[in-house]
């Protein structure tokens, strides 16, 4: 896989996740306005990730060339990630989804290997910034890393607030621990 293909894949994943969370807002918003706002916020954050990936592509084109091979992620199960997204989208699109099922999907998404791709690209962006003589851009990456923790924290807090399923709440907490 090339760096360009990896950026394309990551953008596709972020876009699909943003749309999925927006759909959850539409399907579950009638339960409670706070729930609708939560899923809208999750969607907005995924859109921000999509935009950051595009920004990173621009940084990396000049620094490394977009056709350079990426060997470090050769073991990431890309097909598994896209198959899981397909299944989640089908479930949400069916319109027959409970709030707990939505949280289950979000926890699976946020704990998937897709996060590995995103974090790898952030590390590549750091290297491109180091080479670009634009150190002021590093603050942007640091903020994104903080936002990733906040994104997962928001999911954990919403799961605690709106779910009565103790197993689901434990899964959310394990996700938070995994994201440090």
Determine the Cα–Cα distance for residues 111 and 131; give it in Å rounded to an integer: 31
pLDDT of 105 reads 96
C-alpha distances out from residue 138 to 47, 133, 177, Å: 20, 11, 25
Cα dihedral 130, 62, 2, 17 sign: positive
Cα dihedral 146, 152, 156, 157 sign: positive
pLDDT of 151 reads 87
Q: Which domains does the chain have, with CATH numbers?
A: 3-178 (1.20.1260)
Half-sphere exposure of 59 (CA within 13 A, CB side): 26
pLDDT of 84 reads 94
pLDDT of 138 reads 84
pLDDT of 64 reads 83
Question: Residues 3, 67: contact at Cβ < 8 Å?
Answer: yes
pLDDT of 163 reads 93
Determine the Cα–Cα distance for residues 174 and 180; give it in Å rounded to an integer: 10
Determine the Cα–Cα distance for residues 26 and 38; give it in Å rounded to an integer: 11
pLDDT of 94 reads 92
pLDDT of 180 reads 63
Which residues does the chain have with pLDDT short of 50?
none
């Amino acid at each position: 896989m090339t760096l360009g293909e990896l950026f394309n894949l990551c953008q596709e994943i972020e876009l699909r996740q943003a749309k999925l969370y927006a759909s959850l807002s539409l399907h579950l918003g009638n339960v409670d306005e706070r729930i609708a706002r939560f899923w809208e916020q999750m969607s907005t954050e995924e859109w921000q990730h999509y935009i950051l990936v595009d920004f990173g592509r621009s940084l990396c084109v000049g620094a490394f060339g977009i056709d350079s091979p990426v060997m470090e992620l050769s073991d990431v199960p890309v097909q598994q990630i896209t198959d899981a997204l397909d299944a989640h989208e089908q479930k949400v699109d069916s319109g027959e989804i409970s709030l707990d099922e939505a949280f289950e999907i979000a926890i699976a998404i946020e704990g998937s290997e897709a996060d590995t791709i995103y974090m790898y690209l952030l590390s590549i962006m750091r290297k491109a910034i180091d080479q670009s003589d634009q150190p002021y851009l590093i603050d942007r990456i640091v903020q994104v890393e903080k936002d990733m923790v906040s994104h997962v924290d928001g999911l954990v807090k919403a799961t605690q607030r709106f779910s009565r399923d103790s197993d689901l709440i434990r899964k959310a907490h394990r996700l938070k621990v995994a994201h440090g």
